[in-house]
A = this chain, B = another copy of it.
Amino acid sequence: MEKLRKHIEEITAITDEDFEAVKPFFTIRKVLKHQYLIQQGDEAKYEYLILSGIFRVFYLDEDGKEHIVQFATENWWMSDYIAYFNQKKANMYVLCMEPGEVLSLTLEGREKLATILPQMEHFFRVKLTNGYMALQARIVSLLSSNPQQRYEEFAELYPDLIQKIPKKYIAEYLGVSRETLSRLYTAP
């Protein structure tokens, strides 16, 4: 739970007493490689803060083709957010690529935390602001960039992920072929 506290304190100060009130809302869970946290059709009951490990959130289209919505690693939050915020069944999958631990939080817990602790309302607003910008950047990239630009943007934004995630999935995320990606990897 010390990681959670540090994560919150990157955004806002929190007293020992207030952090004691935060802790019960989170449940720690170990996740094994290849394990799903969410599958299509599940109730999307939780969002997850990653303490360790690597995950990917993806969507399967009608032809069974996978489309990666996000990767996520330490200190990132993830869920099928459309399903989670609307309390509907998931359309997405959240899959563990490298084993680790996550903290899970229900929507009810999230809303209650925001109500009882103003600094948590602030924390969630700041995290959403950052998330909103990241998604907008992804849309701009999908709409307009060529494969090389997309790769460069990704490498600049997420230098650690480039090292840790198989190229196959990075190519898929960027919407480029593996051949193109290999060429970019070896470019000076």
A183 at the interface (CB under 8 A from B): no
Interface 1/0 per residue, A117-159 and B, CB below 8 Å: 0100110110011011101111110111100000000000000
Please name the residue on chain B nearest to A133 by beta carbon: B82
Instruction: Tell which of B86, B128, B142, B145 touches A128, judged by Cβ atoms closer than 8 Å.
Output: B128
Number of interface residues of A (CB under 8 A): 33
Instruction: Tell which of B68, B82, B118 touches A137, judged by Cβ atoms closer than 8 Å.
Output: B82
A53 to B143, CA, bound (A): 25
A89 at the interface (CB under 8 A from B): no
**Which residues, 70 to 88 on A, are CB-close (under 8 Å) to B?**
81-82, 85-86
Instruction: Tell which of B59, B68, B121 touches A125, judged by Cβ atoms closer than 8 Å.
Output: B121
Instruction: Tell which of B65, B136, B143 touches A67, judged by Cβ atoms closer than 8 Å.
Output: B143
Give the number of copies in the complex.
Answer: 2
Interface 1/0 per residue, A92-134 and B, CB below 8 Å: 0000000000000000000000100010011011001101110
24 examples of A-B residue contacts, CB within 8 angstroms: A59-B140, A59-B144, A61-B144, A65-B144, A67-B143, A67-B144, A68-B143, A69-B136, A69-B140, A82-B136, A85-B129, A85-B133, A86-B133, A114-B125, A121-B125, A124-B125, A125-B125, A125-B128, A128-B128, A132-B135, A135-B135, A135-B136, A142-B142, A142-B143
Knowing that A61-B145, A65-B144, A135-B139 are A-B contacts, what are 18 other residue pairs whose CB atoms are under 8 Å apart, sorted by A's residue number?
Answer: A59-B144, A61-B144, A67-B144, A68-B143, A69-B136, A69-B139, A69-B143, A81-B136, A85-B133, A86-B133, A114-B125, A118-B118, A121-B122, A121-B125, A125-B125, A128-B132, A131-B132, A139-B142
